[in-house]
A and B are shown apart, each in its own frame.
Chain A
Amino acid sequence: MTASNDQALSLPGLQPVRRGTAILSSRMQGERVYAALLVPALVLMLVFYVYPVTRVLWISVTDPAPGLGNYALLFTSASVQRMILTTARIACITTAITLVLAYAVAYALTFSSETARRVMLVGVLVPLWISVLVRAFAWVALLRREGVVNNALVGAGLIEQPLALIWNELGIVIGMVHYMLPLGILPLYSAMRDIDLRCIAAARGLGASPGQVFRRVFWPLSLPGVIGSGLLVFIFSLGFFVTPAILGGAAR
């Protein structure tokens, strides 16, 4: 350290300024390190996400001829419009059924005992860890004409002919709802867990019936979770491939 620096440090009032500068410089160095740590992730994003998506966008306006001809098909091609309607219809039905079932399960999870909650959470999470392909083929084994469900129904005398439960829209919806349930339950449960249960106790204390408590307190407070869960399931449903390919009519 130089003599002038020693002098400056010894002067009252200047020492905190130098210490502050040192802290600021160390923080800036820390920020640079964090920024450097982000570089590999950023490069991966650019190479494996941004570039392919941009390439797809580019092809959509250049193949077979430059222009918006392909996009015009959205409004002029009957097959494209039919496909959009089918996708939207199946995604909407799947989302609605998933939300109803997921809400009931998330509600039960919120108000059950610790042990029951653990068992139920395992039940919710285990299907999430099983491959979508395995689950789809399991549904084929259950729902085909000679499957477990049709055999049981025919055996019990409830139906004479096996029902068409797969290779149609019903099969797709069954398979997709099964896949989407954990994705619907977990955000809903997370939203319900954040609800202050003292609000419910207060409503009950003020004389509200259980139905009124649900309708006027619990449901409005859980609504952000319903919206989030619904949009998430809808987004996943829009681009679903494996289940519709195996359980849908296009496979036949």
Chain B
Amino acid sequence: MGGHAAFIWPAFAIALIVLCGLALLSRWGLTVAERDHAQARREAGRDGPRNEVGA
């Protein structure tokens, strides 16, 4: 690639960083939410067998 190609790679790199970053953050957010949900179930005594093990 020649000519005005200098900005092509930064454009692709920024797009990939933003999209991958948001995907990773969202997946991490889901893991945290799943963990917190399981904790809340244990606290509320709604998690039968796991609550007994955890108690």
A binds B: no
- Measuring CB to CB, which residues of chain B are less than 8 angstroms from any residue of chain A? none
